[in-house]
């Protein structure tokens, strides 16, 4: 065999190993094989190596090899730019593009799609516009993949006017990807009607198209329309995937469509989506809990082949909000025994259990354990649970002291919880403090002024009552109409 034939055979073997099933574990051995056969300066071989590194999220390794290449060409640069568009940091794609041009290497049509993808990942509108200008000046705007990349850039940056302009200039708009991008972009920027209009204009749709539209309608509070689109999807013989089910189950919960949700449950089991995707099981647990069907929720939860912290949180929170607080606390203890690490949402659920069961000390211990045992800094909702728990059980001063230690500013709901507790337990002085804080946060709410006026009246401070009345007149705050005032 000639030397040229031998080299081609070696290259063939390298490519076979690079694109084999065990590449992830053999990457360093393949690199050693490349070095041993003196192919470490072959741009063709290295471009394949870099592409594999990108797919395996090993671009740091690829970059070290790239830096040792004496004469990288456009093929190798393209592989590097694409690798960083798939694996962060995406900024490196932009840096490589600039370096490539400095070395006198001109981009081709394969340079721009991944480069634009990196701009989209970074939402770097300024650099992206520059790239768009180069695309036009070099004549690559006629390539469909490049145009899709430009549309994605503008969509990602929320520049739907520019995206629409590029979209309208596309002669061939049959690619479903670009339609999906436009629909997602309009919906993301709040123009759901325009997204829906484009959806209706599409000749062909993919499962991504249907899921995008369903998600947008659901998030916009248009559940009824989402349900109609879901029915239409099934009529068009599109098989729902896990994303479809995870979107539609909350829609069914809000609309009270138990029958449709149960058919989704049956479909999930028959198609094995239930066993393959933990998110589907989690959504089913959440649905049944929201509908108060705790037996069904427990059945799904216990039947799930895989559970994550979201699974446990959904069940604990569902029990808490349906009044089964003891079961919720027991489930939390079981979660700890199984060695799962709770997160912020777990503690919202379990503290809610404590609120509804009046377990003050258990709540105190759990709240303290967030930082001491789990390194979780309490958020506003955790403080809200504790203020509610302490206040309901007469520990209003302790609740107030806790509010004063908060690292963030309390909101009106939190002060309102303290105010309600003060009234229930007769602490009028602290109630006065709380209602003043509520007024400072909600100066437009006439009910707060009425509450403060009532407090002063109960104390016999009629001068203060008159001051409140004059303040409301001066600020042009009208007293709430009958049936709208806050109950004291």
pLDDT tens digit string along 332-389? 999 999 999 999 999 999 999 999 999 999 999 999 999 999 999 999 999 999 999 9
Report the percent of the chain where pLDDT is more than 90.
68
- Beta carbons of 350 and 320 less than 8 angstroms apart: yes
Residue 15 lies in a domain: no
Both ends of the chain: CA-CA distance in Å? 97
Residue 414 lies in a domain: no
pLDDT band of residue 209 (cuts 50, 70, 90) is very high
Residue 325 lies in a domain: no
Separation between Cα atoms, residue 249 and residue 252, nearest integer Å: 5
Residue 287 lies in a domain: no
For residue 296, give both structure tokens: 């069904």
Q: Quick one: pLDDT at residue 438? A: 81
Residue 178 lies in a domain: yes
For residue 383, give both structure tokens: 């403080």
Nearest 5°: CA angle at 444, between 442 and 446?
100
Report the percent of the chain where pLDDT is more than 70.
94
Residue 295 scores a pLDDT above 90 = yes
- Write the DSSP symbol of residue 56: T
Residue 143 scores a pLDDT above 60 = yes
Q: Quick one: pLDDT at residue 398? A: 96
Q: pTM to 2 decimals?
A: 0.81
By residue count, the chain amounts to 488
pLDDT band of residue 108 (cuts 50, 70, 90) is very high
Separation between Cα atoms, residue 54 and residue 394, nearest integer Å: 60
- Give phi and psi for 69, each to the nearest 5: -85, 125
Residue 482 scores a pLDDT above 60 = no
Least trusted range by pLDDT, from 25-29, 327-331, 362-366, 376-380: 25-29
Q: How far is CA 337 from the centre of its chain?
A: 29
Residue 211 lies in a domain: yes
State which residues form the domain around 202: 173-233
How many domains, the chain? 1
Residue 224 lies in a domain: yes
Separation between Cα atoms, residue 173 and residue 204, nearest integer Å: 11
Residue 85 lies in a domain: no
Peptide bond between residue 202 and the one before it cis (omega within 30 degrees of 0): no
Give residues with Cβ within 8 angstroms of 196, minimum separation 6: 213, 216, 217, 225
Q: What is the DSSP string of 300-356?
A: HHHH-SS--HHHHHHHHHHHHHTT-HHHHHHHHHHHHHTTPPP-HHHHHHHHHHHHH
pLDDT band of residue 21 (cuts 50, 70, 90) is low
């Amino acid at each position: 065999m000639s030397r040229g034939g031998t080299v081609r055979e070696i290259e063939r073997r390298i490519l076979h190993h690079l694109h084999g099933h065990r590449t992830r574990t053999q990457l360093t051995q393949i690199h050693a094989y490349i070095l041993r056969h003196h192919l470490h300066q072959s741009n063709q071989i290295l471009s394949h190596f870099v592409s594999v590194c990108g797919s395996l999220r090993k671009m740091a390794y690829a970059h070290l090899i790239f830096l040792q290449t004496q004469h990288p060409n456009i093929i190798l640069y393209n592989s590097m730019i694409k690798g960083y568009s798939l694996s962060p940091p995406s900024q490196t794609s932009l840096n490589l593009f600039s370096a490539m041009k400095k070395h006198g290497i001109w981009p081709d049509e394969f340079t721009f799609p991944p480069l634009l993808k990196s701009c989209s990942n970074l939402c770097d509108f300024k650099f992206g516009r520059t790239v768009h200008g180069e695309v036009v000046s070099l004549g690559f705007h006629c390539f469909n993949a490049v145009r899709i990349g430009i549309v994605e850039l503008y969509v990602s940056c929320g520049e739907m006017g520019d995206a629409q302009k590029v979209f309208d200039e596309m002669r061939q708009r049959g690619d479903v990807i670009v339609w999906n991008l436009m629909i997602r972009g309009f919906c993301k920027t709040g123009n759901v009607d325009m997204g829906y209009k484009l959806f209706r204009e599409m000749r062909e749709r993919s499962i991504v198209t249907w899921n995008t539209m369903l998600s947008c309608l659901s998030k916009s509070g248009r559940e009824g329309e989402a349900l109609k689109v879901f029915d239409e999807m099934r009529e068009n013989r599109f098989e729902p995937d896990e994303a479809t089910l995870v979107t539609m189950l909350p829609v069914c919960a809000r609309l009270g469509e138990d029958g449709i949700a149960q058919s989704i449950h049956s479909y999930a089991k028959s198609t094995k989506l239930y066993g393959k995707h933990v998110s589907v099981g989690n959504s089913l647990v959440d649905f049944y809990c929201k509908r108060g069907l705790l037996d069904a929720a427990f059945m799904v939860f216990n039947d799930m082949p895989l559970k994550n912290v979201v699974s446990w949180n959904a069940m604990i929170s569902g029990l808490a909000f349906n009044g089964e607080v003891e079961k919720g606390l027991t489930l939390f203890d079981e979660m700890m025994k199984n060695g799962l690490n709770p997160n912020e949402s777990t503690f919202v659920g379990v503290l809610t259990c404590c609120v509804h069961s009046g377990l003050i000390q258990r709540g105190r211990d759990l709240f303290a354990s967030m930082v001491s045992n789990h390194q979780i800094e309490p958020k506003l909702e955790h403080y809200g649970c504790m203020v509610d728990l302490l206040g309901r059980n007469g520990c209003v001063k302790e609740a107030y002291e806790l509010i004063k230690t908060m690292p963030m500013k309390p909101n009106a709901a939190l002060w309102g919880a303290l105010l309600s507790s003060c009234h229930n337990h007769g602490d009028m002085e602290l109630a006065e403090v709380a209602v003043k804080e509520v007024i400072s946060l909600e100066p437009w709410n006439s009910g707060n002024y009425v509450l403060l006026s009532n407090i002063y009246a109960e104390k016999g401070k009629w001068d203060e009552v008159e001051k409140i009345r004059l303040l409301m007149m001066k600020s042009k705050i009208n007293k709430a109409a009958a049936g709208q005032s806050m109950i004291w």
